[in-house]
Amino acid sequence: MRDSAEGDPVPHSMQGQLAIVTGAASGIGLATCQVLAERGATVVMADIAADRLQECAGELAGQGANVHPIQVDVANAFSVQALVAAAHAVGTVQILVNCVGITGLLGKPAHEVPVDEFRHVIDVNLIGAILLTQGVIPQMLEAGYGRILHVASIAGKEGNPNMTPYDTSKAGLIGFVKGAAKEYAPLGVTINALAPAVISGPMVDSQPPAVRDYLISRIPMGRVGEPREVAETIAFIVSPECSFTTGFVFDASGGRATY
């Protein structure tokens, strides 16, 4: 545990820990890489956007962060296996933060959405989370310690109209987290979820203005969240100090959901 200038332990220190962060080239994922690195973690940054990933990793490395960029397609089992193997070559993985998410087709009611669109969004948002969890769990169980955090969405709790592929994938992710967390609770590994509302970044920027306005209108704070705000919450969830909470869906919704 590092000491602060005053001699007190630094809260939520990640010194000596190795984290995998997916969705690391933008938004919440990138902010999480920065926060974890600031707390002393070595971070394996993973994203499907290779060029952007290299750029972001270079910027963080220039700030003194210990980062390792690895391209990954989380919906592809072989790609996930390669990511986990690359991380294991760096060291023992104590932390997985999965920030991958796509919205899929927007603006259409459920009966007009092709079933292949549901499959694509579920493959990325849900199956990807399952593959990542399966990849890191064995080493965590062997060590008797691990922290896994999947970024879900307020849409998985409450649903948003004309976003049913996204709603479905994130609700499924929450169900996976709750079930898996209970399996590993006695074994030193916690698995939690985080449900953001509207957070500034590429996903929100890509949505039609009418959709953004509707989503923001549901937030009592009356504004979008910032990636750094969410990343600070994530840093606590995956810290050693968050030791008696598992299977929980943390809130980052500006008051939209209080349960």
> Which residue out of 166, 184, 214, 259 is catalytically annotated?
166
Q: How far is CA 14 from CA 42, 106, 136, 147, 196, in A?
A: 8, 38, 18, 12, 23
Residue 72: CB partners within 8 Å, gap ≥ 6? 22, 46, 47, 48, 79, 80, 82, 83
Task: Report residue 203 as tokens.
Answer: 């996903």
Catalytic-residue membership of 259: no
Which residues on adjacent β-strands are paired with residue 149? Answer: 97, 192
Task: Report residue 44 as tokens.
Answer: 């394996």
Residue 223: CB partners within 8 Å, gap ≥ 6? 216, 254
239: nearest Cα among 164, 148, 165, 153 = 148
Task: Report residue 149 as tokens.
Answer: 């955090």
List, by residue number, the catalytic residues: 166
